């Protein structure tokens, strides 16, 4: 019998001081059986850090040819292609050409990811930011994430402060560029 997705309902109080975004988000996310909690959490972080008009959380691993997060304008045209983890270089290339803007959010081995991206042809690779999160931060938060969770997230000067289950965590979001 096939496993079904696990649904998470997250209430996120988002304060992105760097961009002047202050929102209360109600996210209903289906986690595919082959998707780790850490990967799903990175999708949530990418969504919150890119939050704006036209943003959509896709089905993650089950999304097929779509990235973890998409942004569309009012005409439906893709304006941002946001990947998570260790994205396939060919997919990142296609997404950056399609959208004109791409980004990667990762908690994985940054040296390995940058080497993987640099070793292939990706459209305007130097223009694609790769945002690194500390692995232990993601692991600790993922361990506290429940199917119904409240998160308070504040971003200031690329430092992320997160409160979940009465505990507070922080991590520096480091920007890298592959070349």
Q: What are the domain boundaries of the chain?
A: 6-177
Residue 46 CB neighbours (<10 A): 25
**Res. 1: pLDDT tops 50:** no
158-173 as b/e: b if 16+ CB within 10 A: eebebebeeeebebeb
Query: Is CATH 3.10.640.10 the classification given to domain 6-177?
Result: yes
Average pLDDT, the chain: 94
Mean pLDDT for the stretch of residues 25-33: 94
How far is the C-alpha of 93 from the C-alpha of 121, rounded, in Å? Answer: 7
pLDDT digit string, tens, across residues 117-153: 998 999 999 999 999 999 999 999 999 999 999 999 9
* Dihedral, CA of residue 139, residue 144, residue 147 and residue 149, to nearest 10: -120
Q: Which pTM does this prediction carry? A: 0.95
**Res. 77: pLDDT tops 70:** yes
Q: Which residues pair with 24 in a beta bridge?
A: 13
pLDDT at 104: 98
pLDDT at 37: 96
């Amino acid at each position: 019998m096939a496993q079904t997705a696990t649904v998470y309902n997250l209430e996120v109080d988002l304060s992105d001081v760097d961009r002047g975004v202050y929102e209360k988000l109600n996210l209903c996310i289906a986690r595919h059986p082959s998707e780790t909690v850490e990967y799903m959490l990175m999708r949530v972080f990418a969504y919150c850090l890119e939050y704006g008009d036209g943003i959509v959380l896709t089905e993650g691993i089950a999304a097929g040819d779509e990235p973890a997060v998409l942004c569309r304008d009012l005409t439906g045209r893709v304006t941002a292609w946001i990947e998570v983890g260790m994205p396939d270089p060919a997919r990142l290339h296609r997404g950056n050409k399609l959208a004109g803007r791409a980004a990667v959010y990762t908690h994985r081995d940054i040296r390995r990811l940058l080497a993987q991206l640099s070793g292939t042809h990706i459209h305007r690779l130097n223009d694609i930011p790769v945002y690194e999160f500390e692995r232990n931060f993601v692991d600790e938060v993922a361990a506290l994430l429940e199917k119904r969770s409240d998160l308070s997230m504040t971003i200031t000067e690329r430092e992320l402060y997160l409160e979940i289950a009465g505990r507070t965590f922080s991590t520096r979001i480091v920007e890298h560029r592959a070349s």
